[in-house]
């Protein structure tokens, strides 16, 4: 059995699952310490090895260390965040306004992962029916980078409260390139035990056993070893 074909060792598998379970959306814990170029290169290479439909690899990576550019992005966030706050009222709005939802200036590097919607040409294998597979593939690159970052002790925060067209204009993106994920990256003072929105009482993690069905939507798991295993995973 070649090295590429062997199963992961117990320690290797444990490291993978640890990265998955300990990954956090970081907003408040960034340190000013810069990310070395060789570490950033490893993260980008991990993202670049994500699976993609038709092997189209639709992603590009815009590394943003300019304070001026980040201030422009922060202004976009602040306008959209005000609009988002207006969706709530009373105590819920107060709770929303108390949340820190970005680390654009606090993190040493911002990264925009884009999706080139023309990559691969007019007919991409596997994309004939579901044209959004380029976007889905780029999301997998985001996840690869996020898990690799956790393994390197680097926090990542996804700034989703942002106008995509204004962001594209700020970064000078071509019309066919979509700014899929705007991320803040940096070493952190700590990784929280629980997701911050759960800690702050915004939402809780749903029980896994409630989310698994068998052979169709209307049949939930009601008994059996799988359900017992899923219940243990909720602990």
91 and 32 share one domain = yes
Residue 15 lies in a domain: no
Q: Is the pLDDT of residue 234 over 80?
A: no
pLDDT band at 198, cuts 50/70/90?
A: very high
8 Å CB contact between 61 and 47:
yes
Position 158 scores a pLDDT of: 98
178 and 129 share one domain = yes
Range of the domain at 102: 22-204
Residue 86 lies in a domain: yes
Residue 12 lies in a domain: no
120 and 81 share one domain = yes
Q: What is the CATH number of the domain that holds 192?
A: 3.40.109.10
Average of per-residue pLDDT across 13-20: 96
Residue 149 lies in a domain: yes
Which DSSP category does 30 fall into? B
CA-wise closest residue to 22 among 158, 207, 152: 152
HSE-CB for 145 with a 13 A CA cutoff? 31
Count how many domains the chain has: 2
182 and 110 share one domain = yes
182 and 231 share one domain = no
């Amino acid at each position: 059995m070649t090295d590429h074909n062997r199963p992961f060792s117990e320690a290797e598998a444990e490291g993978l699952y640890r990265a998955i379970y300990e990954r956090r959306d970081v907003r408040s814990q960034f340190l000013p310490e810069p990310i070395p170029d060789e570490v950033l290169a490893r993260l980008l290479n991990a993202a670049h090895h994500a699976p993609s439909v038709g092997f189209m690899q639709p992603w590009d990576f815009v590394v943003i260390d300019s304070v001026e550019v980040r201030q422009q992005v922060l202004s976009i966030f602040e306008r959209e965040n005000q609009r988002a706050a207006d969706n709530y009222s009373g105590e819920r709005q107060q709770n929303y306004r108390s949340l820190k939802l970005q680390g654009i200036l606090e993190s040493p590097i911002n990264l925009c992962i884009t999706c080139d919607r023309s990559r691969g040409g007019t007919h991409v294998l596997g994309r004939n029916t579901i044209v959004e597979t380029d976007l889905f593939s780029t999301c997998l690159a985001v996840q690869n980078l996020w898990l690799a970052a956790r393994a390197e002790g680097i926090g990542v925060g996804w700034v989703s409260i942002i106008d995509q067209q204004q962001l594209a204009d700020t970064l000078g993106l071509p019309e066919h390139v979509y700014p899929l994920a705007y991320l803040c990256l940096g070493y952190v003072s700590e990784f929280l035990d629980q997701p911050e929105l759960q800690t702050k009482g915004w939402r809780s993690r749903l029980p896994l056993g409630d989310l698994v069905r068998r052979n169709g939507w209307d049949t939930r798991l009601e008994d059996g070893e799988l359900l017992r295993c899923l219940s243990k995973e909720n602990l």
